[in-house]
Chain A
Amino acid sequence: MRERDVPQEDSTSLAGHRKALYAVADDGRLRLTPSSGWAAEEVCNRLAVEDLRRRARAARERALAGAASPLEYHMYRARMDLALLAQATGLWRWRVRRHFRARVFARLPLSLRERYAEALGISVATLSRAD
């Protein structure tokens, strides 16, 4: 990559930050050049962010309809998956999965709710709602 080919495409996911890339200058030496983003990279990042958003939306609708607990929604909102949430809370995966059920979650003791809230970085009150 030549210095003048370093992409400056103002990627929205970089939010004004710039990343440093190595590129060949006119004298043939490689140097660090700041880049404001590259569209190809932006597309792939957007895809991943959107996928998590879509999952969170679907989980939220299930929770609002009473078909699932709000836990799953909050998990996706924190960009986690089942494996990560289980590790972050120190619970078995099957227990976490069970807590996705609205009726099981409703009976969850405060100590477990606190554990989830802590792992997800939200308050217990927020954890219990999906709106």
Chain B
Amino acid sequence: MAQAFVHTHASHCESGVMSSLLRHHGLQVSEAMAFGLASALAFAYLPCIRINGLPLIAYRMPPRAIVKGLHRQLGLGMRFETFRRPADGMARLDALLDAGELVGLQTSVFWLPYFPPDLRFHFNAHNLLVYGREGDDYLISDPVAEAPVRCARPDLQRARFAKGVLAPKGLLYYATRAPAEPDWARLGRSALARTAHIMLHAPLPMIGVRGIRLLARSVERLPLGDGAETTRLYIGNIVRMQEEIGTGGGGFRFMYASFLQELSAKTGFAALDALSARLVVIGDRWREFALAAARMIRGRVPLAPPALAERLRALAADEKRLFQDLHGAERAWA
């Protein structure tokens, strides 16, 4: 390998992967910056996609949005390859590693043996970087792990070719060009405009602020009779998607707040600092929501879906105001 790869612990897999990849190619970009520039913050409540019978709730843009977003913004010349046959996918990975390439992979968490067993669910859009190989052991930089890890060939193959929702189909990606130092103000502005647009004006009612309200409505209607096991599972699922899959609602809000702060420092557009502080408060509200839900699940307080729905509506209102102001600030940015 041309230069030694440096592993960094990150909060979320895809933004962590892209931040490491960019740094490896000589452009210093933090995880939060990668996340923000790709306009990855969002909200989506997708009742039609069910995992173990429960709806998908996402607090960010769909998988690959960060990789593709940065690829477009920074002109990385990323190559994306998927494979029909697992053997081809592994052979291609080996060839790229032998050529000294740093390769990103999409994998299923369930089949990665180094993950804690209780967190191994069939979530197919986990990103990681492979920076080398020793025999049949791959050297992996998984951004959500504190240190680099290893994974045996059969396990990695299984993880890359898992089936189901968001099946990775062996997806691998790598950059073919080193990025030039970008115009941060220009990129930042367009990234802010995109995020504000997604949160406020997405054409579908499941996306953005309207998605939060839609979720509130479905929470409100959860049944309470018969021990309400499904209701508890449903509420638990919202929190799990929020706090665990990647880094969740509160987590992503904090990460975006960090992006605003960094962008303000880089460009000198100080109006973003106040917005960042407000977003931290919204992130705290999301965490309070998780705490309230957990209390109900544990039975510390009676199960009351309408109370949770109320919190969600308040969050929707807060986020609406914040993104309106963000949009205004972006327009006023000279």
Contact = CB atoms under 8 A, between A and B. Distances in A.
A41 B257 contact: no
Interface of B: 9-11, 31-32, 50, 52-53, 110-111, 116-122, 144-146, 158, 162-165, 167, 232-233, 235-237, 239-240, 243-244, 247, 250-251, 254-255, 257-258, 261, 276, 280, 283-284, 287, 290-291, 293-295, 297-298
17 contacts: A1-B284, A13-B116, A20-B11, A21-B11, A22-B11, A30-B254, A32-B9, A40-B243, A44-B235, A44-B240, A44-B244, A44-B293, A45-B240, A49-B118, A83-B50, A84-B52, A119-B163
A79 B122 contact: yes
A45 B117 CA distance: 12
A47 B233 contact: yes
Given A1-B250, A1-B280, A79-B120, A19 B144 contact: yes
A15 B276 CA distance: 33
A38 to B, nearest CB: 7
Nearest to B115: A17
Contacts of B164: 83-84, 87-88
B146 A47 contact: no
A76 B122 CA distance: 12
A22 B251 contact: yes
Top 10 A-B pairs, shortest CB-CB distance: A13-B118, A40-B294, A15-B116, A30-B258, A22-B254, A44-B236, A88-B163, A44-B239, A41-B243, A47-B236
Interface of A: 1, 12-24, 29-32, 34, 38-41, 43-49, 51-52, 78-81, 83-84, 87-88, 90, 119, 121
B11 A19 contact: yes
Given A30-B32, A79-B110, A41 B284 contact: no
A48 B247 CA distance: 18
B145 A41 contact: no
Contacts of A1: 250, 254, 280, 283-284, 287
Contacts of B121: 48, 79
Given A43-B298, A52-B52, 8 more contacts: A13-B118, A17-B116, A21-B11, A22-B11, A40-B293, A41-B243, A44-B235, A79-B121
Given A30-B280, A81-B53, A17 B145 contact: yes
Contacts of B291: 40
B259 to A, nearest CB: 9
Given A1-B280, A30-B257, A45 B144 contact: no
Contacts of B232: 47
A49 B121 CA distance: 9
B239 A12 contact: no
Contact of B146 (A15, A17, A31, A43): A17
Nearest to B291: A40
Contacts of B118: 12-13, 15, 45-46, 49
A88 B261 CA distance: 44
Nearest to A43: B294
Contacts of A81: 52-53
Contacts of B50: 83
Contacts of A78: 110
A83 B287 CA distance: 32
A81 B298 CA distance: 25
